[in-house]
Amino acid sequence: MNKKIGMYGSVVNFIAVICFALSMLFEFDYGSYFSSMFIAFSFVTMMCGYAYFAEKGVKLAGYVSVAFSAIYTVIILLVYFAQLTTVRLNELTQQASILLDFQKCGLMFNYDLLGYAVMSLATFFAGLTVPSQTKADQWLKYLLMIHGVFFISCLIFPMLGLFKTNSPTWIGVAVLEFWCLYFCPISILSYLHFSNCKG
């Protein structure tokens, strides 16, 4: 059952990433918010799977990945649940809208980037737990650890004020579509990884 949880989490993660990518392409904001919540839910199960199946010498890295994935998930759920409820269902004042509306690149947008910075740390530490016994696992290990590089940009760019509401929309969409293309193989390889685990 343990490996099935990791496998199912990987499948849900893949589907959620695809839904997120399609929602971005068709400018369906609430679809992207909803699918992002399921990326978070499934991401936790994947990170827990890495921690559970990690060899004794790298167990701590697995626990660290779980801790960071939990932090990421809390932040992301708060951001997108607010968009699907408070922002969508209420008439906000201008100041409240600047703070709460994701599209205004304010507080919630910055929290979102903080969440993905923490997610990047989670993948880096998860990558440390993956043995390099097969080609698939080698690719998975490298993809997870390289994904950790996103930590720097996601943490620093909001502090530099690089994201503005008057920035061209296509740039943000292109960056997110690239992320989806990058993360889909992680979901697929995670499924294969867990399917080969014992227990």
State pLDDT tens for residues 100-135.
998 888 999 999 999 999 999 999 999 999 998 899
- Write down the pLDDT at residue 167: 66
pTM here is 0.93
- Write down the pLDDT at residue 3: 87
- Write down the pLDDT at residue 180: 96
**179, 130 in Cβ contact below 8 A?**
no
Task: Indicate if the pLDDT at residue 166 is higher than 80.
Answer: no
Task: Indicate if the pLDDT at residue 169 is higher than 90.
Answer: no
Q: Collect all residues with Cβ–Cβ distance below 8 Å to 6 and sequence separation of at least 6.
A: 45, 46, 48, 49, 50, 52, 53, 190, 193, 194, 197
* Percent of the chain predicted with pLDDT > 90: 79
Task: Indicate if the pLDDT at residue 165 is higher than 70.
Answer: no
Task: Convert the pLDDT of each residue in 53-68 to its tens digit.
Answer: 999 999 999 999 999 9
- Write down the pLDDT at residue 86: 94
- Write down the pLDDT at residue 46: 98
Task: Indicate if the pLDDT at residue 27 is higher than 80.
Answer: yes
Which segments of the chain does DSSP mark as H helices, in order? 2-25, 29-53, 59-82, 88-89, 94-100, 107-129, 135-147, 150-159, 169-195
Mean model confidence pLDDT for the chain: 93
Please choose, from the candidates 133, 122, 147, the residue with its C-alpha nearest in 3D space to the C-alpha of residue 63. 122
Cα Rg of the chain, angstroms: 17
Written as one letter, the residue type at 74 is V
